[in-house]
Amino acid sequence: MLDAELAHEREYVAGLYTRLDELREEKLRQLEQVRRSTAMGTHQMRSERDAFAALYENRLAQLNAVDDKLAFGRLDLDSGETRYIGRIGLSTEDLQQLMVDWRAPEAGTFYQATAFERQGVRRRRHLILSGRDVKAIEDDVLDSQMLVEGTSLQGEGALLAALNSKRTGRMSDIVGTIQAEQDRIIRAPLSGALVVQGGPGTGKTAVALHRAAYLLYTHRDRLKSAGVLLVGPSSSFMKYIERVLPSLGETGVVMASVGRLMPGIVGAAGEDPEVAEIKGRLLMADVIRNAVANRQRIPAQDTKLDVEGTTLLLTQRQVRRARDKARATGKPHNEARLTFVRILLRELTEQLTEHIESAGFGNTADRAYLAEDVRQAREVRIALNLAWMPMTAQKLVAEMFSKPAILDASAPMLSAGERELLRRGTDSAWTEADVPLLDEAAELLGEQDATGGRNQAEHEAQRRRDIANAERAIDNMTQAMADSGVDGILTAEDLADHNAVQENRLTPADRALTDRTWAFGHIVVDEAQELSAMQWRLLVRRCPVKSFTIVGDIAQTSSSSGAGSWQQALAPFVGERWQLEELTVNYRTPSQIAEAAVRMANAAGQRVSAPKAVREGLWDPVIDRVTADALLSKLVEVVPAEMAAIDGGLLAVITPRSQVRAAADALRSVYGRRIGHGAGSIEQDIVVMDPHEAKGLEFDGVIIVEPSALLSGNAGRVGDLYVSMTRPTQRLRLITSTALPAGIEG
């Protein structure tokens, strides 16, 4: 019977792949035909051609990305229907359904049905594929009558098989093994802020990624223009997860680490915790606002200006009045400067005109040239720039931190010691903690116009085009705001301010990467417990409708500016409009290791959630006690045994940041190019990193060097050591030269 069933599934799945190949060939022909078409005709015809090309390219990318394990499930229903579940939906040319997309409502029972609540399902079958071939099948029989009829359960369990598989350096999707509590969260409504709290190994990241794919499928009309942003804790993490969404049929999600949320800036990790904590405070928004306002200066005294040999007087009163009028426009600094300059140029021109006319009584010659003389006069340009200098965000923040007088004037609410901590050189590299400050400055400064003003008619014409385009999308966005409980009315002008429409083929994801003012329809945040208040402020600015999926574990907070509770993190931005869901099962970490990590955290005074581990490992944590000068030699000594134990898997060595280079060099002298960083790969199967870089990643085995340093080196938080201990899927080893933190040994 099993052989016959397996043969049947192989034949059916082969048919699915045949249909997939047919669709690929069809889209490829259509794309080639569009590309061969000329660029002649009207602007509308060229736009339509480009739109079709982009459509076919996106569909081809989707069809190519789902080739691996295209189908993974089958449902046998009470109605007699057999329903196959896969990565995308497939139909015949005459629209006969061959396979249901896992995100479709009809597929929900594949994840939700149980023997106690069958939901019309008699049998759930898992298809185990290798390449395009069905290697095995596993049946969950939910209808007891089928057991009476002779149907039996097959296989070791798709979930356990996936959990025991070797890590490859890239995260795999869990679409075939999503569990019921995960599926409930993935399919939760779009509106508002959903917080997914879960301990290590509960699949938070997988849930977040599958939810992003589900939302794009279910709310395509609402999200396809605005897009979805996925934010992670590090570049290593983003590389680790980069293949998951394409494998789920989605290629348009914008993915960025927290250090890359400002176009053109790559914020480095590793800032001093005290400095990062100060920069993360919400009051830094006031500091930046003060810094901008302080660049709108009243001169200490009236100023004499030479214009073509004539002396003009720029008074404090004139500058103050022009400044007040410019501020009253409510425009950003650089845009309001145009008003400021226009007022003073007019007044200085009137003053020059009076001088000329008083010297040449009765002369009625045209004086229009005088305005240009005033505008071009060097002393006038210097005086106006000193009073109201056009600025970039980078220049404003860099000068604020490098010039004590500017910082003192901008941040009187900080102590002298705190201001001293913030000071640095003008050529210092930008950090992750700087990115929200730069974004705040860019918001207050607006676009810099170095020429003194663009053609106003052209600007207004473009503005009208932007608003006209925005009006087409306004209904969906307004509904999204209503669903999210956001007060106020979203106008076409508001939307045009966020999403300036560009007449090119770029997708929303492409444009959003380079447009700081882009407004996303939804944002997914992973390791969200690490975000500072200023980073949350940046994200809320990126999503005015406040539609979020927020994933994290408060117990794993290691950042000095991170949250102590979800209420503390979210209340300033969404009030009480957020909902908490919790994941309770640990799928990653063997029970012996998970229990040791929880005991350690509790002994250090940190209450942590203790999700139930679904499996017991083969080993308890292994502990090596050595002298301080023998740490690295011991590390090199034990690596062969660890690699043998995990049998071709990935091994991570996690050390304090200060020891990463030394540990990597020691191992590289033996293993050469096999030593890597980040999530690793098939070629680099031994990686060396600090706890920050390890966040969100998982490995077959982990060696922690000097665990007590990870516990004591971060302002008393246990997050670094807790995170490090919960990364392995098989085996944990600790090498220590000091007393081991309490609780680890039971």
Cα–Cα separations (whole angstroms), residue 553 to 59, 272, 331, 719, 724: 36, 23, 40, 10, 14
Nearest to 644, CA basis, from 731, 736, 734, 726: 731
* 727-741: burial string, b at 16+ Cβ within 10 Å, e else: bbbbbbbbbbbeebb
Known binding residue 203? Answer is: yes
**Cβ neighbours of residue 742 under 8 Å, at least 6 residues apart?**
600, 603, 604
Contacts 24+ apart (CB under 8 A), 342-347: 344/314, 344/318, 344/319, 344/384, 345/371, 345/374, 345/375, 345/380, 345/384, 346/371, 347/318, 347/322
Known binding residue 202? Answer is: yes
Q: Is 410 exposed, middle or buried (0-12, 13-18, 19+ CB in 10 A)?
A: buried
**Cβ neighbours of residue 745 under 8 Å, at least 6 residues apart?**
596, 623
Q: Is 575 exposed, middle or buried (0-12, 13-18, 19+ CB in 10 A)?
A: exposed
Known binding residue 82? Answer is: no
As a whole number of Å, the CA-based R_g of the chain is 31
Known binding residue 736? Answer is: no
Name the E strands within 459-559.
Answer: 522-525, 548-552
DSSP string of 524-545, one letter each residue? EESSGGG--HHHHHHHHHH-TT
Known binding residue 451? Answer is: no
Nearest to 16, CA basis, from 80, 96, 106, 118: 96
Known binding residue 205? Answer is: yes
For residue 141, the SS3 value is strand
**Binding site members for ATP:** 198-205
| Binding positions | 198-205
